[in-house]
Amino acid sequence: DEINNNKGGVIANLKSYFGQCFPIGGLGGAPTTGKTGFAAFSHHVPENGNVFILFAPHVAISEDGQVGKILRQGQSHVTTSCGAVCGAYECCRGRQVGQREEFDSSDFQMHWLKQKLGPHVEGIAKSEEPMASLAYQAYEMVKEQINKVVDTNFTKDGKLILFGGIQINMPGGYDDHFLPLMFDIRHKHDISLDCLAKFKETLELQEGDLSINDDPFNMACFDTNFARLEWGPDVDSPCREALRRNFRHAMPGKALCQRVLEFLRNEYDLVSSNTHFATSLCPDEINSRIGGLTELMKDYFGDLFCLGGISGAPFAGKTGFKAYAQHIPDNGNVVLLFGPHVGISSDGKVGSVHRVGQTSHSSACGATIGAYNALCQPCGSEIDMNVRASCHFDPNDFQMDW
């Protein structure tokens, strides 16, 4: 949900500090990129480096104190937050006893939410504040899935930090809040240190010391200029040659963003005040580097709703887009940026990239190339490729199975 990416919020601040982010979450905050998404991400980590994972469902509180409701910018009425979790809850409440949910392959994140929520709906409905209870149950679901997906195999001496809780979207004028419920530091062989109590003690000490004051489309002809601005590779480099050989019309994010925004503004009067921005891109953190196309467009439009999963496919599904559509200003517009990604190394190798902190190259997109390589493996006997691709479905890794 784009409100979780508001400037000044915990996500934006953490990303500003660490410099980049790999979103592994989907509807409800569940790590729907699965084992493959985390494995792909873990291959990007500097050698003996660390990983910090923030995970949480989210819930809103409206100006008049309604839990699960928020008035979004440009709208005249409140909507739900989290829309997908609330929608799954209402759907399960309306289902007859014994009625099975029909699986929709184009909406499996919502299917997962319904499957996980179903057994708890009756208890949630009987609680004093069902929407708050729903948020806590969503947290338990997300935490369970996080523990199934992550591991410490990416490092010998580094650490995996899991910081989990509930993101609380506040009405206009107030900063979003975050309720910490888990703060684990894990080492190799899954040795885990629970730091939540110690963290809360630190918060209590600091709160008393706070001061109130703290606070034409062929881009090759432009390559010389792009190189001079350090937006692109040198014109005589193997990287540039591979770029133009394979992706002749590609341009740097800064150049493309400026052209797209000017076109939308001049031709269709699409500006930040009447338009929302969404993406369906691979969550690889290199796709959200500061100064890149995604970040530049997000800076302009002010928010971002991520529909994509590994490879860039819109795994948030029909429900994800429908939930997002409820956030759009009245009579507003949507700009959706979508696409897979591919790396080009300095020596011109397509599908390869040298990541910060690593001594060797890794693949990009790791998930797509990994799927391709898996399907190219000999079977020992002739078998239909489609059967091979689907015969080992893993509910903890369904994006890779897709």
Find where tokens 């994006």 sit.
399
Distance CA 219, CA 276 (A): 28
Provide the β-strand partners of residue 67: 61
pLDDT of amino acid 248: 63
Question: For the segment 213-240, what is each residue's pLDDT rounded down to a tens digit?
Answer: 343 455 677 888 888 888 877 888 876 7
pLDDT beneath 50, residues of the chain: 205-216, 381-383, 387
Token pair for 335 = 């700009």
Token pair for 81 = 């937050």
Count of Cβ atoms closer than 10 Å to residue 198 Cβ: 10
Asked if residues 177 and 81 have their Cβ atoms less than 8 Å apart, the reply is no
249 DSSP assignment: T
pLDDT of amino acid 33: 92
Q: What is the pTM of this model?
A: 0.70
The enclosing H or E element of 133 equals: helix 130-149
Question: For the segment 22-42, what is each residue's pLDDT rounded down to a tens digit?
Answer: 889 999 999 999 999 999 888
Distance CA 55, CA 23 (A): 10
pLDDT of amino acid 388: 54
pLDDT of amino acid 208: 43
Asked if residues 378 and 390 have their Cβ atoms less than 8 Å apart, the reply is no
pLDDT of amino acid 8: 67
At CA 276, angle to CA 274 and CA 281, rounded to 5?
A: 155
Nearest to 320 by CA among 68, 33, 107: 107
Distance CA 120, CA 325 (A): 27
Distance CA 293, CA 300 (A): 11
pLDDT of amino acid 105: 84
Distance CA 393, CA 402 (A): 9
Could you please report the per-residue DSSP string of 156-196? Answer: SS--EEEEEEEEEEPPTTS--EEEEEEEEEE-GGG-EEE-H
Nearest to 257 by CA among 335, 140, 326, 313: 335
Count of Cβ atoms closer than 10 Å to residue 369 Cβ: 18
